[in-house]
Amino acid sequence: MADQPQAGKLEINSLSMSSLSLKPKKLRHNHKRAFNLVELLVTIAVIGLLAAVVAIAVNPARVKARDATRMQNIKALTNALELAMAFDNSYPIPTGNATVCLSVCAVASPPAWCTGLLAQMPHIPNDPLPNQQCYLYNSDGANFRVAATFEASSNSALAQNDGRSLFSVL
């Protein structure tokens, strides 16, 4: 009875090496389709084209926004000059009664005529575009002019002479 296996026990002798296969099973290919190089390049080109179209379409809005900023800056300068007139009974008069760039008042040692303006407006605004023209100023003490250059002629509705400020269009 020692030769017969008992119930519930496995007989290890019946397993052979041929039943244990070390060969890998054949992998099934997943048939999900991936992008190829041409499709990827076409997609990138379409996205680039759309970005260029959007950038071109937004540019007029940027120009109009910069012109509106110039208008607001001129109004702020005009208010500061009116306050300077109220305190000093005269508008600031540039040296030699010349037309000057108001950015000269924003330097570390501004000219003496800037004192009245700087008392009312410590930060003199610059043009919205870096390295562009500045706001021009001229006064004889009783009257003054603040001038700016707009980028777009379509914004000429903003560019109206109110008697004190002069607006010109490029």
Q: Cα–chain-centroid distance for residue 49?
A: 20
CA angle 74, 95, 139 (to 5 degrees): 40
Across residues 17-32, what is the average pLDDT? 59
Q: Nearest CA to 149 among 80, 61, 74?
A: 74
Q: Nearest CA to 64 among 153, 133, 147?
A: 153
Do the domain assignments include residue 66?
A: yes
Burial (CB count <10 Å: 0-12, 13-18, 19+), residue 114:
buried
Do the domain assignments include residue 76?
A: yes
pLDDT band at 170 (very low <50, low <70, confident <90, very high): very low
pLDDT at 48: 95
pLDDT at 79: 92
Do the domain assignments include residue 157?
A: yes
Do the domain assignments include residue 1?
A: no
Do the domain assignments include residue 21?
A: no
| Cβ contact 81:121 at 8 Å | no
Residues in the chain: 170
Span 138-169, pLDDT tens digits: 998 888 888 888 887 655 555 554 545 555 44
pLDDT at 47: 96
Q: Nearest CA to 83 among 55, 118, 109?
A: 118
Span 80-138, pLDDT tens digits: 999 999 999 999 999 887 888 888 888 888 999 998 899 999 999 988 887 777 888 99
> What residue numbers bound the domain in which 76 lies?
50-169
Q: Number of structural domains, the chain?
A: 1
pLDDT at 26: 62
In terms of pTM, does the model score above 0.75? no
